[in-house]
Chains A and B, each alone.
Chain A
Amino acid sequence: MTRRRYFSDDENVNVERLNSLSIDALYALSEKMALDLPPDLEKVFIVEALFEAFEEDNEDRKSAGDAAVHIEEKKYSGSELDEIDASIDAAPCIVCRYNETIVHVIARDPAWAFVFWDLRDEELDELRASDSFSHLFLRVIKEPGYDGKSTASFEVVVGEEDDHWYLHLPEEDRSYRVDLYAKTGTKSRLLAHSPVIRTPRALMADSLADLDPGAAELAALSGLAILEIVQAPMRHPSRILGGFDE
């Protein structure tokens, strides 16, 4: 079983957080980001390359946006500021949590899932009272079978005050389940498990070469170039990094 720790959503990535990852995890991330990094690179350079890639992605997202979304924003344009507070009663204060032991996971896209969890106060108090309790962790299980067993999983240590996390999932088009555990001594105690989710595909199910020529041509005429969903050796040529050996 590999032990990995991935961080929160990609808009909040910073150098410090990248530095907290292992070399293996950084290489796994760089693969997901389509970065072509030389092997055995020093950590500082991997972090730098990844950070730049995340920054670039965020900039792309901010500048390009999505037409559907921007058009939708126009129809909601009402006031120049978010001043509607002034015209409505204060919203009722809702509880932040429900004091229950649960864990949920939602697939956001092929690479990221949102996990949120909670632990009953009594249960957490009981754990804290135990001398052997060391920490809580999430176990991310790939392709869980009906018996809950799987050949692959990784763990993410979470703080006692944490209640949500964006998990970077290693593979698209795979099923995952997330379990919430407490580590007590050498034992791991299962507290809750999520329903199974599946990450969507990021790349086409068939390679273009396997399609008949007419189908491949129509796929191209449908906008494949814009979508970047074709499996190709270099999907982001601008991210080929050649300066590390200088």
Chain B
Amino acid sequence: MDSGLVALVLNSHLPFVRQPDYPRFLEERWLFESLSETYLPLLRVFARLESDKVPWKLTLALSPTLEAMFGDALLRSRYTAWLKMQLELAEKEMVRCAGDPDFAPLATMYYNLYLKDSEDFTMLYSGNLLGALDFYYKKGRIDLMTSGATNAFMPIYRNYQAATTAQVEAAVVSFRAAFGRSPSGFWMPQLGWYPGIEETLSAYGLQYSVVSTRGALLGDPTPRYGSYAPVSCPNGFTTFIRDIASTNDVWSETSGYPADPAYRDFYRDIGFDLPLDYVGPYIEQNQIRTFTGFKYWSITGGNDQKAPYSPELAAARVEEHASRFLQARAAQAKAASVHMNGRPPLMVAPYDAELFGHGWFEGPGWLETVFRKAQATEDLRFVTLSEYRRSYPDNFESVPEYSSWGDGGYGGIWLEKSNDWVYRHVFKLIERMIELAERFPNESGLRERVLNQAAREVMLAQASDWPFLLRAGKSGSFARKQIEDAVTNFNRIYEMLCANTVGTEWLTKLEKRNNIFPSINYRVFRHKR
């Protein structure tokens, strides 16, 4: 009998930042950095664990936008070019740092990192990271979930069932195209849950999701097992509940493991520290200072008090933090199990995947160490969400409350003074899309293409990333432009259809630019009768 079960869940998402009209584009770096610092390192962790027969299990929620970018030929080729640039910079750094006992080994470390990324991406995986994930999915090591098509914060659109349904349908269709089977889990973007969404999810064969602790405990009735077991909605849909303690151990900005002074500092980067004439070729337009990925300092103190990064010291902290994580979960399980009526307590630990490697450089190593150390304990076992659901199909019945994992626990991050203007436009787009789908229910050929592109633009405008960025004040102009472009594109299509004229050349160009969801069916926006 297990005394405790742990389900690690990684939320893998980036907004659709493909910009084919530009030879280089700053926001495409988000993808490249995540590939080099998170996904390729994680795949190396998986391969090592597999090779050593470590019984590892985790759940990975792959957003349809990231899924589309992983599979996109243009972005693959751009990533290869970016890696070449990183290797060139690494070679320059090895020369610059030669002889420095602190920095020379780090420059070599980065060279080796990018070299390994290059080898893995081009030779081992042939650019096909979806295939790599599918390998572990089929082996049962990874449970893959899908997520909202464009990461829309669903509670805001709850009065537009067609819009929330479109987010679900496009996600399920994309997942099937990528992995050849239907997903059973659906990650609610930003853990944005509202009562009633379970009906839409179930209609697409989806069986489970994850909600915040707040949302679950505010559910009606109060869950019998707290966050230590999922709850079932009356229609049978299962909602797993985020465990606050394991979340805080890793995510707390002040007390979480990644805040340890020995770990590599995220913000000090040669892109900001070295002269422009040196870093120019590796930043935007030779003059816009950006992160390059070359970071030589540990978190330690303020900017002028930082110590050089020591991988050895950091590795020691990884060992300690992995042990602490397991000890804390075991203690938690022990305390909870007394009240569980014989059922093993489950601790669901969802994190942003990009935390591992990109935000927290040592994160992949920590994850690997956690799995390795867990072999030595009989107190804990790692499970995937679908595996748990199969083992424990009967759950306490309760419907979670509207909630999210954002500040305040509801929708305040995505609906406040910096971004509330967005919804006037997006609501209008949705209403017009519903109108178009009603007016043109059986189109084919060019008009069907036009309507499908209109549906894509509506969904791109719905992305919660844009309001998030507007609020954060980072890349706000980019976010604004993404919304304005989608609104403009949609309204142009709307006017073309109203005037019964279609600009084929413009449409084709737009289809090539915003090429996401090739199998989209605009009819999903028809009112459900």
> Interface on A for B, CB 8 Å cutoff?
8-9, 11-12, 61, 64-88, 91-94, 97-98, 104, 106-110, 114, 116, 118, 164, 195, 197-198, 200-206, 211-215, 217-224, 226-227, 229
Listed in ascending order, the chain B residues whose CB lies under 8 Å from chain A are 14, 22, 25-27, 29-30, 33-34, 155-156, 159, 190, 213-214, 217-228, 241, 243-245, 247-248, 251-253, 256, 266, 272, 284-285, 288-291, 332, 335-336, 338-341, 351-352, 354-355, 358-359, 401-403, 405-413, 415-417, 420-421, 423-425, 427-428, 465, 468-469, 472-478, 480-481, 484-485, 487-488, 491
| A205 partner, pick from B213, B222, B225, B291, beta carbons under 8 A | B222
Q: Which of B285, B339, B401, B409 contacts A218 (CB 8 A)?
A: B339
Instruction: Specify the chain B residue showing the minimal Cβ separation from A221.
Output: B336
Among candidates A64, A67, A221, residue contacting B256 with C-beta atoms closer than 8 Å? A67
| Contact present for B289 and A79 (CB under 8 Å) | yes
Residues in A with CB closer than 8 Å to B358 are 74-75
Bound Cα distance A200, B409 (Å): 11
Check if B359 sits within 8 Å of A71, measured CB to CB. yes
Most chain B CB within 10 A, of A8, A76, A91, is at A76
Q: With the chains together, A85 CA to B475 CA distance in Å? A: 9
Most chain A CB atoms below 10 A, which of B213, B285, B335, B403: B213
Decide if B218 touches A229 in the complex (CB within 8 Å): yes
**Nearest CB in chain A to that of B256: its residue:** A67
Contacts of A74 in B (CB 8 A): 266, 354-355, 358-359
Is A92's CB under 8 angstroms from B485's CB?
A: yes
**Cα(A106)–Cα(B421), bound, Å:** 12
Report yes or no: A94 in contact with B488, Cβ–Cβ below 8 A.
yes
CB–CB A164/B359 < 8 A: no
Q: B401 near A67 (CB under 8 angstroms)?
A: no
| Contact across chains for A227 and B409 when beta carbons are under 8 A apart | yes
Please determine whether A215 and B352 come into contact, CB atoms closer than 8 angstroms. Answer: no
In the complex, chain A residues whose CB is within 8 Å of the CB of B465: 76
Q: Indicate if the CB atoms of B474 and A73 lie closer than 8 Å.
A: yes
Q: Closest 9 interchain pairs by CB? A: A218-B226, A67-B251, A223-B244, A222-B226, A214-B339, A109-B410, A66-B407, A200-B402, A222-B227
Judge whether B252 and A67 touch: CB under 8 Å.
yes
- Shortest Cβ distance from A84 into chain B, in angstroms? 5
* Contact among A67, A82, A97 with B475 in the assembled complex (CB-CB below 8 Å): A82
Contact yes or no, A69 B413, CB < 8 A: yes
A71-B354, A206-B222 known; A114 and B420 CB under 8 Å? yes
Report the bound CA distance from A163 to B222 in whole Å. 39
B410 in contact with A200 (CB, 8 Å): yes
Measured between beta carbons, the chain B residues less than 8 angstroms from A75 are 14, 30, 33-34, 352, 354, 358-359
Q: Are B217 and A229 in contact (CB under 8 A)?
A: yes
A212 to B225, CA, bound (A): 11
Across chains A and B, the number of contacting residue pairs, with CB separation under 8 Å, is: 237
The verdict on A116 contacting B420 (CB below 8 Å), with A66-B405, A108-B410, A205-B218 known, is yes
Nearest CB on B from A197, distance (A): 7
- Determine the chain B residues whose CB is within 8 A of the CB of A217 once the complex forms: 338-339
Residues on the A chain within 8 Å of B25, using CB: 87-88
Contact B417 A9, beta carbon cutoff 8 Å: yes
Look across to chain A and name the residue whose beta carbon is closest to the beta carbon of B418. A11
Residues in chain B near residue A197, CB distance under 8 A: 159
Closest Cβ of chain A to B102, distance in Å, is: 24
CB of A227 within 8 A of CB of B217, answer: yes
Chain A: which residue is nearest B155 at the CB level? Answer: A107
* Contact A97 B288, beta carbon cutoff 8 Å: no
Are the C-beta atoms of A106 and B415 separated by less than 8 Å? yes
Distance of B227 from chain A, by nearest CB (Å): 4
Question: In whole Å, how far is B62's beta carbon from the nearest beta carbon of chain A?
Answer: 15
List of B residues within 8 angstroms of A88 by Cβ: 22, 25, 477-478, 481
CB distance from B400 to the nearest CB of A (A): 10
Give Cα A110–Cα B412 distance, bound, in whole angstroms. Answer: 11
Which residues of the other chain, A, contact B248 by a CB distance below 8 angstroms?
A: 67
Chain B residues positioned under 8 Å from A203 (CB to CB): 218
CA distance A70 to B351 in the complex (A): 12
Q: Please report the C-alpha to C-alpha distance between residue A145 and residue B387 in the assembled complex, in whole angstroms.
A: 44
Residues of A near B485 (CB, < 8 A) are: 91-92
Q: Is the CB of A61 within 8 A of B407?
A: yes
Given that A68-B251, A84-B475 are known contacts, is A205 also in contact with B425, CB under 8 Å in the complex? no
**Chain B: which residue is nearest A113 at the CB level?**
B415
Q: Complex: how many Å from CA A81 to CA B473?
A: 9
Q: Most chain-A Cβ atoms within 10 A of its Cβ — which of B26, B285, B480?
A: B26
Residue contact A97 to B424, C-beta cutoff 8 Å? yes
- Please, how many angstroms separate the alpha-carbon atoms of A221 and B245 in the complex? 9
Given A109-B412, A221-B228, A229-B217, answer yes or no on A87-B473 (Cβ-Cβ < 8 Å): no
Known pairs A76-B472, A77-B474; A9 contacts B226 (CB<8 A) = no
Complex: A218 Cα to B485 Cα, angstroms = 48
- A78→B477 contact, CB < 8 A: no
- Report A184 CB to chain B, min CB distance, Å: 26
B288 close to A108 (CB less than 8 A): no
Contact B244 A222 (CB under 8 A): yes
The reply to whether B285 and A76 contact each other, CB–CB distance below 8 Å, is no
Which residues of the partner chain B approach A76 to less than 8 Å between Cβ atoms? 30, 465, 469, 472, 474-475
Chain A neighbourhood of B424, CB < 8 A: 97-98, 104, 116, 118, 164
* 29 A-B contacts (beta carbon < 8 Å): A8-B417, A68-B251, A68-B352, A69-B413, A76-B465, A78-B290, A79-B26, A84-B477, A87-B285, A88-B25, A88-B481, A92-B485, A106-B156, A106-B411, A107-B411, A108-B415, A108-B416, A109-B409, A116-B420, A116-B424, A164-B421, A198-B402, A201-B218, A202-B218, A203-B218, A211-B222, A223-B227, A223-B244, A227-B214
Most buried by B among A64, A104, A201, A218: A218
The answer to whether residues A92 and B484 also contact, given A215-B225, A218-B226, A219-B217 and a CB cut-off of 8 A, is yes
Interface centre among B252, B411, B424 (most CB of A within 10 A): B424
Q: How far is the CA of A107 from the CA of B154 in the complex (A)?
A: 12
CA distance A73 to B253 in the complex (A): 13
Which A residue sits closest to B417, measured CB to CB? Answer: A9
Distance in angstroms from A58 CB to nearest chain B CB is 11
Give the docked Cα–Cα distance between A70 and B355 (Å).
10
Q: Which residue of A lies closest to B410 (CB)?
A: A109
Q: Which B residues are in CB contact (< 8 Å) with A226?
A: 244
CB-based contact A206/B417 at 8 Å: no
Known A66-B407, A76-B475, A93-B484; further 15 A-B contacts with Cβ < 8 A: A67-B247, A79-B289, A84-B477, A86-B285, A87-B22, A106-B415, A107-B411, A114-B423, A205-B218, A205-B222, A215-B226, A217-B338, A221-B336, A226-B244, A229-B218
Task: Give every chain A residue within 8 A of B241 (Cβ-Cβ).
Answer: 222
The residues of A that contact B338 with a CB separation of less than 8 Å are 214, 217
CB distance from B163 to the nearest CB of A (A): 13
Contacts of A61 in B (CB 8 A): 407-408
Please give, as numbers and ranges, the residues of chain B lying within 8 Å of A223 by CB-CB distance.
213, 227, 244-245
